[in-house]
């Protein structure tokens, strides 16, 4: 199968249909309510030294978001004062995790935040039905401590570009589905087999439309391959996105081929349970 032709056909189908359900899900928020005091805080932020004040970093589970963020924050990569806005989640803590990126709360505590309108957004991800969200208090605290040299990092969903002004979005992809399975297996993540099917569908929904790079550009998305052999190159491209407004469209051919094979054969569940490396 010709990959470009297949992707072009998928792209044409979406243009005719208006918007696919999978793609619409990428941009949908189950809870989308920005209180006036948050809007005011966003509008009163100091001028930034960079084209973008916010970086939304997203991508499939196991692609390396946490490791990338830690490197950027700890080493002030690019001379930027990177600061992470922590999320909350109801999923269980993994053995290797601390509270550096996520704060783990109960379902009851999460629902209370929703009732109090204390979440900028919330979203449930497939597979484990765990809820994730960014508390408005965390965002306001990060804004209050920021300087013109600060770029605030929020992990989560592409849909955050609907809410945050002056925002760049980077979607990290693995070199291949096979490599993603290996990373998940190495991290021994509970519930990962349920998530990988969801992540495959999400990646396919987004990447099917990229030879038409104007699609991603119009939604302020850079797509960057996070290859463990080239981690510094990946981070450099993220910095280029924020500092120079440079859009990167980096889609490994092997990844696109695997996604197309899995999605077109409707074999996602079997693919999720395939042993890593097969």
Question: What are 213-251's pLDDT values in tens digits?
Answer: 555 555 568 899 999 888 889 999 999 999 888 888 888
Torsion angle of C-alpha atoms 116, 26, 28, 104, degrees rounded to 10: -10
pLDDT value of position 99: 61
**Averaged in consecutive runs of 10 residues, what is the pLDDT profile of the chain (278 residues)?**
38 36 58 72 83 91 89 92 93 70 90 88 70 90 92 87 84 92 73 66 75 54 89 91 87 88 61 36
pLDDT value of position 80: 94
pLDDT value of position 256: 86
Reported for 97-100, long-range contacts at CB under 8 A and 24+ positions apart, including other chains, are 100/66, 100/70
Fold of the domain built from segment(s) 3-86+150-272? Rossmann fold (3.40.50)
With a CB cutoff of 8 Å and minimum separation 6, the contacts of 14 are 20, 23, 209
Rounded Cα gap, residues 209 and 216, in angstroms: 8
Residue 166: closest CA among 144, 186, 185, 143: 143
186, 64 Cβ separation under 8 angstroms: no
Q: Where are the domains of the chain?
A: 3-86+150-272
Rounded Cα gap, residues 124 and 132, in angstroms: 6
pLDDT value of position 204: 82
pLDDT value of position 102: 86
pLDDT value of position 209: 61
Rounded Cα gap, residues 189 and 39, in angstroms: 36
Rounded Cα gap, residues 119 and 32, in angstroms: 9
Looking at the DSSP bridge assignments, the partners of residue 32 are 121
In the chain, what is the straight-line distance between the N-terminal and C-terminal CA atoms, in Å?
21
26 φ/ψ angles, rounded to the nearest 5 degrees: -60, -30
pLDDT value of position 214: 53
pLDDT value of position 206: 78
């Amino acid at each position: 199968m010709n990959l470009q032709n297949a992707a072009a056909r998928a792209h044409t189908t979406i243009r005719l249909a208006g918007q696919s359900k999978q793609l619409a899900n990428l941009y949908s928020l189950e809870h989308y309510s920005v209180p006036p005091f948050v809007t005011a805080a966003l509008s009163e932020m100091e001028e930034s030294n960079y084209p973008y004040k916010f970086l939304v970093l997203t991508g499939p589970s196991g692609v390396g978001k946490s490791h990338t963020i830690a490197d950027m924050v700890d080493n002030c990569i690019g001379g930027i004062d990177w600061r992470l806005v922590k999320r909350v989640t109801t999923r269980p803590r993994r053995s290797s995790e601390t509270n550096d990126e996520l704060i783990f709360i109960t379902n009851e505590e999460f629902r209370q935040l929703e009732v109090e309108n204390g979440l900028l957004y919330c979203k449930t991800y497939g597979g484990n039905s765990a809820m994730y969200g960014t508390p408005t208090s965390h965002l306001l605290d990060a804004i209050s401590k920021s300087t013109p040299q600060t770029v605030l990092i929020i992990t989560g969903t592409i849909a955050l570009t609907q809410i945050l002004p002056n925002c760049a979005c980077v979607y990290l992809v693995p070199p291949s589905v096979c490599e993603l399975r290996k990373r998940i297996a190495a991290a021994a993540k509970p519930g990962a087999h349920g998530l990988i099917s969801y992540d495959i569908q999400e990646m396919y929904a987004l990447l099917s439309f990229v030879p038409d790079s104007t699609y991603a550009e119009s939604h302020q998305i850079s797509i960057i391959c996070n290859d463990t052999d080239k981690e510094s190159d990946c981070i450099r491209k993220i910095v280029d996105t924020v500092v120079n407004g440079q859009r990167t469209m980096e889609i490994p051919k092997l990844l696109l081929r695997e996604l197309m094979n899995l999605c077109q054969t409707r074999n996602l569940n079997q693919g999720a349970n395939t042993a890593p490396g097969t």
